[in-house]
Structure 1
Amino acid sequence: GNQFLEEIEILESIRAVMDFDADILDQEFTLGDDKQFDEVQKELDLCNQLMPVAPAPGAIPALNLKKGTTTLAFRFAKGIIVCVDSRASSGQYVASSTVQKVIEINDRLLGTMAGGAADCQFWERVLGRECRLWELRNKHKITVSAASKILANITYSYRGRGLSMGTMVAGWDKHGPNLFYVDSEGTRLNSNLFSVGSGSIYAYGVLDQGYDWEMSVEDAIDLGRRAIYHATHRDAGSGGWINLYHVHENGWTKISRDDCNDLHWGPYGRKP
């Protein structure tokens, strides 16, 4: 009751300040009447800014469950290591411990998932289709840069509509190994090393200490696995299995799938 009356008073005061005449909305505009149309559009835009949409009285607020994950990828002289955990969480509830967070886009490209699982899975499948169509049209393999640009263009066109994505696109093309980060705001970044997710701060600590461009493949594999393990040990939103891939000149290879608990009580855990 009181809230409704207050909203009416606010709306009336806005109209008084703007000299807003609702009857103008019923007028028909000709194709040449652009000036009159622009004036009405400005008034409507100002009204929308001053009166943001509010939920109806008594409406149940939407659930905003926290998500957690840890994904990483880094480029070095002999390729790219992509390593992820497998836990899907909804707030304090662990929804799954066997999520495949590496999306195999094609035989030379990999994508990772962080954020909303459905958003990442769907749009990276769309990216796989777009890459295949691009290759059929152009008669050669798409570059990692072009593939990441396609995904960034898609996410930018949907910005502000509720997408939740923090992905990495990794692959080997005619320019060598390449790695990009793309998120749901349309951001697209190129670098040698990325980690995304709630556990990324822990993974970065291990990666920054051990990363070396000239490292061997074996050392790179151990570094990626160790970084994800320490993130899962400290971050409640990360855990499950550690899936590790190596991107090389001939495509990509899935190297291992390790249980975090086995690593904790094995090579990486604290000794009593």
Structure 2
Amino acid sequence: MEAVTPAGSFAALLRLHGLGPRWDLPAGGGRLDPPEGTTVLAFRYADGVVMAGDRRATAGNVIAHRRVQKVFPADGFSAVATAGVAGIALELVRLFQTELEHYEKLEGRRLSVTGKANHLASMVRGQLPMAFQGLVVIPLFCGYDEQEKTGRLYSYDVVGGSYEETDYATEGSGGRDARLYLRGAFSPDMAEAAAIDLAVAALVSAAEEDTGTGGPDLRREIYPNVVTVSAAGFAEIAEDRIAEAARRAMERAR
């Protein structure tokens, strides 16, 4: 099974020189309420995978940020979304991006989709000390398999278990509500335009039920992040297209 070896790992190179990332924390009786990103989702469509996330981050019962990005390119043909502690999530994503870039420079080729998914699982497993103290980040990952000519989607658990999903996956405080919406509307054969509309509608549905999920804010012009991964590679959907989908979804939700 293809994987990033210690020689091909940027994080391993940093650790060799005493500069590696630290995921452990000292035990203590204090309480932290760091900003947490909430709902992300992904599902397969005819040409690949669509991935989306709301923009809200909460700290306890307070809205900490309204414009947080939770969906990122991993490389040119894959994407990652995160739910959980926002600061740790951003560091995890940046390190994952660097690891994939480092591997490609050393090997002269991209890591396979399975290899990327497995390496992300090992990174999630590496943050277990922080998870035991309540500082949890759980990602979703998707990529386009250039050999199989299909989009692939993976979900994770807090201990780094990696699970390939055949249809859709959700994560975060509004994940259950988004999943229920997708269950009733999902079709693996839908076109990209319909997939974008469905992703936004599922987040709107989650925001209707979950206080941690931020729905589209038309007045402030804050909309979900939506991306696609297909044979053409990673693509971020334009904000005006998402705004159009958000208006339709909010009209139906009334």
TM-score (norm 1): 0.71
1:144–1:169 CA contact under 8 A, matched in 2: no
Structure 2: unaligned runs, 5 residues or longer: 1-26, 217-222
1:148–1:188 CA contact under 8 A, matched in 2: yes
Q: For 1:107 and 1:228, how far apart are their aligned partners in 2? A: 25
Query: For the pair shown, which has the larger CA radius of gyration, 1 or 2?
Result: 1
CA deviation vs aligned residue, 1:133-175 (integer Å, no higher than 9, x gap): 2112222122221112112112223323334111011121323
Q: % of aligned pairs identical?
A: 26
Structure 2 residue corresponding to 1:83, chosen from 52, 64, 69: 52
Letter paired with 1:74: F
2:205–2:253 CA contact under 8 A, matched in 1: no
Structure 1 outlier segments of 4+, above 6 Å: none
Would you say how many aligned residue pairs link Structure 1 and Structure 2? 214
Aligned residue in 2 for 1:251:
233
Aligned residue in 1 for 2:205:
230
Letter paired with 2:62: Y
Residue 208 (1) aligns with residue 177 (2): no
Q: For 1:253 and 1:98, how far apart are their aligned partners in 2? A: 19
- What value does the CA root-mean-square deviation take over the aligned residues? 2.6
TM-score (norm 2): 0.76
Aligned residue in 2 for 1:169:
141
Q: For 1:193 and 1:79, how far apart are their aligned partners in 2? A: 12
3-state secondary structure, aligned to 2:128: coil
Q: For 2:228 and 2:34, how far apart are their aligned partners in 1? A: 33
Residues 1:97 and 1:64: Cα distance change in structure 2 (over 3 Å)? closer
Letter paired with 1:206: Y
CA deviation vs aligned residue, 1:32-80 (integer Å, no higher than 9, x gap): xxxxxxxxxxxxxxxxxxxxxx96xxx6x42356846111000122111
Q: For 2:49 and 2:122, how far apart are their aligned partners in 1? A: 24
Letter paired with 1:263: R
Structure 1: unaligned runs, 5 residues or longer: 1-53
CA deviation vs aligned residue, 1:91-137 (integer Å, no higher than 9, x gap): 11101110011122222221111001111111111111111121122
Letter paired with 2:232: N
Aligned residue in 1 for 2:170:
195
